[in-house]
Amino acid sequence: MAITVEELIDLLNKDLALEYSAAIQYIQHAAVMSGAQYGDVIKELKIHANEEIGHAIILADQIDFLGGVPTVEVGAIKTSDDNVEMLEQDLAGEEGAIARYKLRIEQAEELKEFALAQQLRNILAVEQEHAMDLKQALGK
Ligand SMILES: [Fe+2]
Ligand SMILES: [Fe+2]
């Protein structure tokens, strides 16, 4: 069953809401995370926050280009009073994003939206880097 542009716009808006929430989650986690040994991790989380905002800007522009209205809804945000649990929450978010963008690239190509597919590939590569950073921080 072929995807329609309208369905792709709806899915991209879900991705957009999750990029907003990822940025907020990283900002909050970086601020509340404590312990001298987490100094480098905290810096990394702040970099991730900025990159998620960059992804949101790309997705919003692409949704507009496709004729949709970019959402202002924000996805669910997770937090904890435990550093490791926060990093696990962040990693789960990244793994979800990787799975979603792999599918979204296929859907964009199915509709011959190759520029969108290229943008999504760039985002996917950054999400993979984020997941690797978090795995390293977690000693995985
Ligand atoms: Fe992202
Ligand atoms: Fe990410």
How many domains is the chain partitioned into structurally?
Answer: 1
Contact 75, 93 (CB under 8 A): no
Cα–Cα distance measured from residue 63 to residue 76, given in angstroms and rounded to the nearest whole number: 21
CATH code at position 76: 1.20.1260.10
Ligand 1 midpoint to CA 38 (Å): 22
Ligand 1 midpoint to CA 20 (Å): 8
**What are the residues whose beta carbon lies below 5 Å from ligand 2 (ion)?**
94, 127, 130
pLDDT of residue 67: 98
Ligand 2 midpoint to CA 35 (Å): 23
Ligand closest in space to the Cα of 130 = 2
pLDDT of residue 135: 98
Contact 79, 126 (CB under 8 A): no
pLDDT of residue 101: 98
Give residue-wise pLDDT tens across range 95-139.
999 999 999 999 999 999 999 999 999 999 999 999 999 999 999
CA proximity to 28, closest of 36, 20, 16: 20
Tell me: pLDDT of 1 over 90: no
Listed as own residue / partner, the contacts of 28-31 with beta carbons closer than 8 Å and 24 or more positions apart are: 28/77, 28/79, 29/79, 29/86, 29/87, 29/89, 29/90
Give residue-wise pLDDT tens across range 26-71.
999 999 999 999 999 999 999 999 999 999 999 999 999 999 999 9
Task: Provide the 8-state DSSP code for 82.
Answer: S
Indicate the pTM of the whole model. Answer: 0.97
Looking at every residue in the chain, the average pLDDT score rounds to 97
Ligand 2 midpoint to CA 37 (Å): 22
Cα–Cα distance measured from residue 129 to residue 116, given in angstroms and rounded to the nearest whole number: 20
What domain range is 43 assigned to?
5-137
Cα dihedral 92, 95, 97, 100 in deg (nearest 10): -120
Ligand closest in space to the Cα of 53 = 1
